[in-house]
A and B are shown apart, each in its own frame.
Chain A
Amino acid sequence: MILPPGLSHAFRAAAGELGYAAAAWIFARDVHAEAGDAGVGALRDQLGREYPVLDAVCVSWLAGIRAPVRESAACIAALAGCRRLTIVGLESDALDALLPAMSGLDAAILTYAPLPADWDRVLANFDGALSAIDLDAVLARAGSDSALLCFVYGGDDGLFAPPAWLRLDGPDVRAAFRARIAWNVLPTPFAVYPRWLAEVVPTSFTTVVA
């Protein structure tokens, strides 16, 4: 089965503005609706090596999992005492679960990302609950009531984060934020090389939630 050639570009645009995992679940669902398991298999085969999160989501889909598990309670608990949150990586459905439950939280997302995005359009999805910052402004949000949240992926064989996290894993930033939380939105192992992501150790974070 050959999927439409524009699908790769479409996924790239969607992943840039929704997040790798959020876009992958939509694509798996829609391709499955049109072409069944064979279509999801073809999606994995043709785009999986380029987009490893999409590959992992397709594996989950073919194993019968039809939606991500989004349990925000552990993340909310890890944010206790925090009034300011800086987010690394974008996963829109996770943020949809988190931000409405954290009223009064000053949340900003780092726009330093490997995929292009129209950030005005991204932020409009959150109805004022999220603002955007660049890398050089992260430390302006430091404080003992400030936290960093990074979306990560991966199973027991490794944890993978957006490359931006590596820019925030120095002693200057580590000592300026009360908590450094990883939210694993796809806790399954990668079957392909996790391109566009950087392997990180769990100790890079104060808390890892899934």
Chain B
Amino acid sequence: MQHTRPHLPASALAAIIDAAQLSELLRPWLPDAGERAFVVRIISEEGPTHHRCASYALLRLLATIAARTGALPPTSQGLPVAMRLPPHLAGGSPPTFPLALDPEALAAVSGGEAAQSAALADALCDGPAHHVLANVAMANLAAGILRALERR
């Protein structure tokens, strides 16, 4: 049986997460400080430590690329990201998170095909809230980078 390296303590992973950096990279999508703090809290404080740390790493990586390419803001309104409520409260219009999904991120993968875009949106926006919001933030950053590259 192959031995693997022992895991680092969870505190070592958690210590890496800098909420101020997350807040800064989300600012273009969430100018309101209260809304930004809400989303940052979910991404950085909810879910397993390794997932929080991984989301942080990927978001910082994308933000670094975005800064170097001069990522462009979205040109269309984002798709609302619904909160997942328990079944007895389903129906009607569910409340949404303040962070919306950039539809150009979907189009970049689906080629604009509606059914594929809907499936991608459904997948990106499903699961635990920390997962969903990290997905959406990454997709938004990637869409901004693509816009910048296409302008070149």
Interface residues of A (CB under 8 A from B): 80-81, 136-137, 139-140, 142-144, 146, 171-172, 174-176, 178-179, 206
Contact = CB atoms under 8 A, between A and B. Distances in A.
B46 A80 contact: no
B41 A206 contact: yes
Contacts of B46: 171, 174-175
Nearest to B96: A144
Interface of B: 32, 34-35, 37-38, 41-42, 46-47, 83, 85-86, 88-89, 95-98, 128-130
A144 B85 contact: no
Contacts of A143: 83, 95-96
Contacts, number: 49
Contacts of B42: 174-175
B85 A80 contact: no
A172 B86 contact: yes
**Residue among A80, A176, A179 with max Cβ neighbours from chain B (10 Å):** A176
Given A175-B129, A179-B34, 18 more contacts: A80-B34, A81-B32, A81-B35, A139-B86, A142-B83, A144-B95, A146-B95, A171-B47, A171-B128, A171-B129, A175-B42, A175-B83, A175-B128, A176-B83, A176-B129, A178-B35, A178-B38, A179-B38
B20 to A, nearest CB: 16
Contacts of A175: 42, 46, 83, 128-130
A80 B34 CA distance: 8
Contacts of B89: 137, 139-140
Contacts of B129: 171, 175-176
Given A81-B35, A144-B35, A176 B95 contact: yes
Given A81-B34, A176-B83, A142 B128 contact: no
B79 to A, nearest CB: 15
Nearest to B38: A178
B35 to A, nearest CB: 6
A142 B96 CA distance: 9
Contacts of A179: 34, 38
